[in-house]
Amino acid sequence: MNIGEILKIFDELYPFDGKCFLNYQTPWQLLFATILSAQCTDDCVNMVTEKLFVQFPTLQDFANADIHELEKAVFQTGFYRNKARHLQGSAMKLLKHHGGEVPSDISLLTALPGVGRKTANVVRGHIFKIPSIVVDTHVKRVSNRLGLVRQTCPVKIEHELMEILPQSHWISYNQQAITHGRQVCFARKPKCDICALKIQCFSIDGHAKT
């Protein structure tokens, strides 16, 4: 495993532009979009939030929303009942305990309804520019196949990657690994024959544990 070579190839393949895959205008909108992204594609979330943030333009609107209307608005993202309650609960807590501002501290973020370390780290990285590792299904799969980690637990993967990757690449690695997972390193039938990382890959046949 040559971490330096892997990062060099990633930088060449997917130059980091700092852009988030989710559309948002305010910190709380990114927080809510990321909550909705659980078990849902970013494209679907972006389609939903385009209307959602017009229907509920402020945190107070989410806090005061009829829960059934909110459920209807996020229905397409799946698990809509839980997600609607997470959004409303987070809005209430942000207004009551944080003056309507999204905190940067990970313990405060993960204390919000529906917010785990993945969601918290998305917000910390994109809003506050705090180096953070975001472990989604693509980062998990790509990191295991490249031999960077040997874990299935997202929290353990996060901490292992923090130990072996230079902090300057934490945020860019998130985006690059996700992009590589979406375009080349599929869960099923990965395009190993065209992969620029096949020499570095721990499992060229695509059958490593994911």
Pairwise CA distance, residues 128 & 14, whole Å:
22
Q: pLDDT by residue (tens digit) across 95-141? A: 999 999 999 999 999 999 999 999 999 999 999 999 999 999 999 99
Query: Alpha carbon of 114 to those of 86, 110, 154: distances in Å?
Result: 5, 8, 16
| Token couple for 166 | 């230079």
**Encoded amino acid at 185, one letter:** C
Running DSSP on this structure, what letter comes out for residue 40?
S
Per-residue pLDDT tens over the stretch 179-192: 999 999 999 999 99
**Which contacts of 104-111 are long-range, i.e. CB under 8 A and separated by 24 or more positions?**
104/128, 104/130, 109/31
Residues annotated as part of the active site: 118, 136
Say what the pLDDT of residue 203 is: 72
> DSSP letter at 75?
G
- Three-state DSSP at 162 gives helix
